[in-house]
Structure 1
Amino acid sequence: MKDSQWEKIKTIVDTAMVLAGEEKESYLKTACQGSPDLLKEVQELLRSIEESEKINFLEPLSGRYQELIVADMGNNAENTYTGATYIGKEFGAYRILESIGEGGMGTVYKAERTDGEFHHTVAIKLIKQGVDSKENIRRFKMEREVLARLNHPNIAQLFDGGVTTEGIPYLVMEFVDGVPIDQYCNKHRLTIDERLNLFKKVCAAVQYAHNNLVIHRDLKNQNIFVNQNGVVKILDFGVAKLLADPLDGTTLVETQPGQRFWTPQYAAPEQVKGAAITTATDIYTLGILLYKLLADAYPLDLKEKNLMEISRAVQEEAAVPPSKKIQQEDLKTCAYLRRISSSELVKTLSGDLDALTLKAIRKEPEYRYHSVGQLLDDLDNYQKKLPLVARNDTIKYRIGKLFRRHKMGISVAAVFLILAIGFAVFYSYRITAERTQAQLEAEKATEVTEFMLGLFEAGNPNEAMGDTLTARHLLRLGTEQARALNRQPEVQAQMLGVIGRAYYSLALYENADTLFTQALQINRQTYGEVHPEVAKSQRNIADLYRAQGVFNIADSLYSEVLVMQENLFGKDSPEIAQTLNSLAITLRHMGEYETADSLYNKALTIRKTSLGTSHPLVSESLSGLASTRYFLGDYETSENYYREALQIQRNTLPENHSRIATTLNDLGALLDSKADYEAAESLYLEALQIQTALYGDVHPYVALTMNNLAVTMANQGKMKEAQETYHKVLEIQRKLLGEQHPRIALTLNNLGMSFYFNGDYASAEPYLREAVVMSEAILDKNHPDVGSNLNNLAQTLFNLGQLTEASQLQERAVSIHQRAFTKPHPRLARSIHNLAKIKVKQHLFAESERLFLEALEQRVELLGNDHPDTQTSFRYLAELYDTWNKPEKAAEYRALIASRND
């Protein structure tokens, strides 16, 4: 083989080894364009390197490639691997557990400490087999030196290092159990502001590294993880370049020509053309990362381009602003993942964020931000609505920023509100020489403030009593006025919170999110990290996450609030009870029914002690307890709690209050489960009448009650009406909650089951599959709802004759429900019963009998002999014994059925 051909192969392989997935495949096709033989040779070499953990390196290759690689490796007698794998081997005090990743130069393993001093999980990185040349070993040792200098909470820490018996250096580093930053942002549906805050932590860590004379040079999303606690960790300084060695004043050797230690989509122009690498290079890659977090895309389209075209595009092609790019991509999905409307997302990115991002990725290093610190300053300026370095510093621009920061202070809309707030601000801050007069003005300001807060409370649906158009108009004006109260931060935060709660009640979650976040920031700046107002603001944000189905974040936020409130108020305060109740709701949605039940009980005890036994908040905790008893299968206790709560509410609240509607809906669901369909339908209709009067026809609460009403319709055989209702519910939910939400999964499941009960299994299947996929993506894999959705899909496939898949899904459903319910439960009984049906088809009669009897025992205990589910168990047992040729047993169960029909 010619040297030129071998060099070309090495160059392509070198670049491909730092890529993954579609990006890697696309690069290989373009780099080997027009040469199938070249592509085959490159793929063969890559496959050999990737399989080196399983078989001896180079064995699959022909002799000519072995010779070429060995010749390139340098000093191969000392550095070539002799073992097939490192799994199970010990490096110092650590034992290798598994391979968790690899890059162009190193393989990373998960390992644990073995010396018995303490338990410690780490990541160990060493040069991968086949690229352990002297130069790469030198680079690998350099990584150890680099990481040893860096001690920052957002940089993966270096613990130790050494050399294997084969002479290969390795590093023992912090194990980061997380996902790439872009995946984390989308998984948790972080807002633009939340993404910026996370990105600022990355910038701060990079700035720290620069201050320690270290450039990363490969700050792609795959090298920046966020762990389960939301902490950013920058990984892999293996291709970092020291700006200067503080020990001797010399610089490290530059990367050799032809070696590529960069990823095409993140490559700065100076990297592509082999120019000097400086801190500006990291600023460029930070800009690309920011672009990805904002727009879920890259500024340049490098797909299907060869190396020459990539090089030209990186150096010459103008980047599309993020606000334009998202309109070329899947704008709707991008907006959903940022909890914002499509139009608002485009508006948010346009202007300052476009300019800021594009400045960071300028082709010319000298026109980028001069430092990461300057980039951070501009990010802060953006969030504070101050002028940016990235924008032209014109009078027009600065006046525009001033106007946006003080919009209502210089507008003339809503005269009454302006006068009211104007008097509040004027009286609060009027400078006067007379102390008594100042005191009088302050008292007036307090009165005006209280009046305004009462006015905005009227925007809450329970106060506005359905006049939502007027309420929303008032809230919109009030929001603008509140933002003008910069000199009264305490009042401003209070008003923003009140208005945010009203928006929250109207299911206008984007508006509420903005106001809650602003209120929290103001309160923290005003009071510090621990204060009653800070706790209240954070609880509001937790409520918002819960409403949007992001239960894990809500859980974390409520837990933090509880710690804060215990320090502030003690363990038995009304504030603690409210947060306990909210956390219990979250855990109930997460399927942790026993824990939720305990928290509801604690909240109930506190509220009865401090408020008496007939307070509306006591009824709230009673309703919560009723819900957990319902999900735990204790229907009798659940009904008693619901009826007690409803009685308190009817005695203490207006007849059209939302809490009454919620309890009516929940009690209806319980009666539906007890097969009392007429009573359930009556309660749903009463709840809907209240909810539509309060919220209008488009609201999550309205959709939830309509969904339950459709279930009852289906149970009564009104399939067409039920299906029409389900479709209306889906329309409302998708409009308000996006494309993925636990309630949408529930509606899809119920819609599918309406077709199932009508015998139309083919129509049921796609809805049930979508429900399974969505619930598995949103909820924990062992959530009871996932088990129920699997059960329903399994039975549909069973009726379609797809026995193998049905059996597998049904086994999973039983396993999930057995884990979730340690006592008899209707859902567990249903899953076991349905598995027994499949076993009959498989002619496993003894196993089927055992399962049918187990399900029957639970149903009799929970529901009694007269319930339709119990009657179904009798019927299936009779049919099993007929099939099994045991007529006496069959007659026994048929007699039970007959006796119940007399």
Structure 2
Amino acid sequence: GFSLNSSSGRLGVGSQIGPYKLLEPIGEGGMGLFYLAQQSEPVRRKVALKIIKPGMDSKQVIARFEAERQALAMMDHPNIAKVLDAGTTETGLPYFVMELVRGIPMMDYCDQAKMPTRRRLELFRDACSAIQHAHNKGVIHRDIKPSNVLLTEQDGEPLVKVIDFGIAKALTDNLTDKTMFTGMFQMMGTPLYMSPEQASLSNVDVDTRSDVYSLGVMLYELLSGTLPIDRDAVKELSFDELRKRICETEPPRPSKRLSTLNEDARETLVERRGGNKQKVHRLIANELDWIVMKTLEKDRNRRYQSARELSEDIGRFLVGDAVEACPPSAKYRILKYFKRNRGPVLATSAVVLALCAGTALSLWQAAQATTAKVEAEASARFAQTKADESKAILEFFVTDVLKSAMPSRALESEVTVKEMLVEAEAKMSSSFGDRPLVKAAIQEAIARTYYSLDDWKSAERNSSKAFEARSRILGQKDGDTIESMITHARILIKLNRVGEARKLFDSAYDLALQTHGESDIETFRAMFGIASCYFAESNYEDALEQLEKILDVAANPLTNSNIPYKFSVRNAKTISLKGLNRDEEALELQEALCSEASQLLDDNHPELMRYRSVLAGIYERKEDFSSAAQVYETLIEGRTKVYGVKSRKTLLSRRDLANLHVEMKEYSEAKKELEELLPLFIAGIGEFDSETSLYYLYLGRTCRELDELEASEEYLAKALKIAAQTKGMTHSNTLLIKAEFAEVVASRGDVDRALTLINELIEQSTQVRGADHPTTLNSINKAASIYAIAGRTSEAIDSRRKMYRVCVESRGHSDAYTVKCAKLLLNTLLDFDQGGDAFELCKEMLKREHGLPDAERYVFESNAALALVKQELIPDSVPYYEDAWKTAQEVFGECGLSTLRQQSNLGFALATTGEFDRGVELLRAVANSGCGHKMVEDNAKYNLTTVLANRCQAIGLEVDASSDARDKAIEMGKQAVALASVRKSELGKVHVVGKSPASREAWARRRLAVGFLGAREFSAAALEIEKADEIQGSVQPGYSFIKAAALCRLGRTDQSEVAYSEARSWVDAQEVVPDTVIQFREVADRAMRETNASFGASEKRN
């Protein structure tokens, strides 16, 4: 580059130009140098000073330099660098001074900030605003490119600054009085960003639309990361070839260019935009493509006519309006209106989509007909008829119905979706009295839309009419008739008319298979409908078998592998697996489904949200509560945006999130949230709805856990009444609620009534569904709970043994329901201290040949250990705790609730059976895990306090313990007291694991006192006993022996005698004296012998 050397009489760093001292060069343009300069007066500040390069002070360059100076001086815009001053040096070189812009080129800034596309567009509009301002002042920039559009920051926010008007051109001839004629064949600007008219070598006719083109090139790069003309290709082009490329070759669309990038380049581009490939491509495709390509039109009359027009169209895109760059077809504008107002009129969009789908199918059938080799003339007539029908349907909705939702009418009143549907129904009879098939097609679409709105009665009203008309006119075998038959059957399921629905689905399947073949879409819909009937009856085994058949057909390369139901079928398969307690398979399948669907669908697409709702339920079942909560919260946010805060789907997600607290055993929080949401839920969904019955069920369960039995019974009674009315008395949900109700009735003391209810239920379910059906087994399980409440232990155990035997005989040991029944029996045996039988059951279930999933194996491993502990066989429990901990890590992860619980159990067992150091290490790790499971972390602290304090006491009682061992014992005792003290401050008066925090601290201090006594720190020993008594507010008689021994060693005989007498009186009153207290008494007696102390209690004892 050039330099100005002051030592040679020329300007350079350190030179003074008026009040400006040149500090350092900061840039270089085609004709000038930029310096950082210090202004000394009238204000002190840093500025940018531009001066002509030495040796370039020709008339032509000076004219351009003055033009730039004058152009900038004319402008006053926040996104254009301001001119502050101007003048000439002593040698006559012109210069001007601008505000100092410490910025970086727009592309670099956006990439470094990993700025998403929408934010890039907002900033790009600021650049358009700056260029429009220049045009308004009569100035064309002519060199728009990223390095001349800088981004700096102001108050932490990015700010666009357009610089370098060095080759600006006036729209009139008075920008400067001096000549500014550009020599012939001299191309002004940067070729890669240059408009065709600039590159044509006749640029005297360049106008503002040239800048619009350059802005378009920048926008192209901003979106796709590349240029319309590849940079590498330019290097190999001659001047004429480059000019020809600019003027004649149409560039590919940005989305097309993006799709042709190599994998590494695509990954880099996506990373810099903070998204995934599909989302970035989807955002650019269509409207942004259209906008960019309009700016890059070779014919400038077809471009945006100003930078403002370009900016306004981008603005329309950002708010979801129709963009001008697209040919303004009615279809496009209507679809954009609905997308922009997706909350209130989403379902109306579904009408449009349903009709468009029908139209597309009609046109496809027409095309098939015209290519058929038989009955060509009849096929042509059929094709024309279908096309006419499709046109009539679209015209009806566009001209008669959808116009009610357009902005002009929306200004007068807010038009709801249902109002539009009612309007459509009313207009059909008058519009299509003589065209029943067109009317039937519209009724079919309206029925589907009502279905999506959960208004099943209105849906059934329209679907029945469409089905009847098509059956009568077209016959049962026609594809449209089969379509209506399936739609009508789907709606009947929602109305709990499952038997009628199943007959229709069976007929539809037979007809579709005979008429259209195995791979036809209606055949798939009918098969899926049959599976839906199984679902409605909670028959997950047959549902799964049916779904597998559908997926097998879809996987056949000879069939239509792109069936739209494939995701829905996989989602339904997950639900079946979950219903069969095959949670591991369900989780793997659903995570894969959600991942694939998210690549193709928007985050808030209704189908993707439906799949995620199922995924959240599986996370909940697997105790991954944080993941479940995160998905539920995402669903609530998405469904609120799409459907509104009061919509059915939003309210169901909010209910599920509140119920998550029940699964986490946070009952008070669950009740609070469920009761707060209840009025809104009923207002949005209604009192007599099957989902409301489940809501009352959740509330009833919550109140039962809080021992609020009256409220629980009241909620469950409501749930039972609603379920009976909406689902019928034999539906699985109704039977489930009735069983819960019977259990609460028993808890309130009316055992006879509860047993009558539950025995009726068992008999009813056995007759309807069979002895081994899940509903029947659940009823037997509730009977066992009622027997347990009544204190009839043997009958409770017998009921659950019966469940278990039925499952083993009908299903085998490895079946999910058998495992469930085994777990229920296991819990009963443990609750009633049948440790031996519980352990034998666990051993049976853990046999290798049963091949239990890891999650189930964990349950029986951990409970085998617990059964052994209950039999005081703690050393034998260690291998089972080891296995349970290892399995839990695989299933729940290092931070899983169950993982930490088994780690704590193992640590306690090891610390009490010989591996003290490892046990303590495991307990400390749980206590300090930071995983957020407060209850299990607190329990670990409790166990750690226990083992440390007991260890301290044990060593304190050892006569021959070394001084080193005694020091370690005291340290452990102090740690135990510290842990107990921390728990006390954290928990206050909360009762957590068997002892209040205050009494726990007292307990630890007494054991520390024993440690101090063994280490012959007698004052400390006596002091700890006194502190413990003060904390607890009472004396522990056994430890009065320890206090007596310490005081005796200190020579405080009178106080020692009092303590000894208190302890001796307590011992004399006991029928059985604990071994530990006998040891304490021996310690006190030894202290008296060794100090030759003699007092009444001792003589009395002797």
- The TM-score bracket by the shorter chain reads 0.3 to 0.5
Bigger Cα Rg? 2
Structure having greater relative contact order (Cα 8 Å, sep ≥ 6): 1
TM-score of the two chains, using structure 2 as the length reference: 0.36
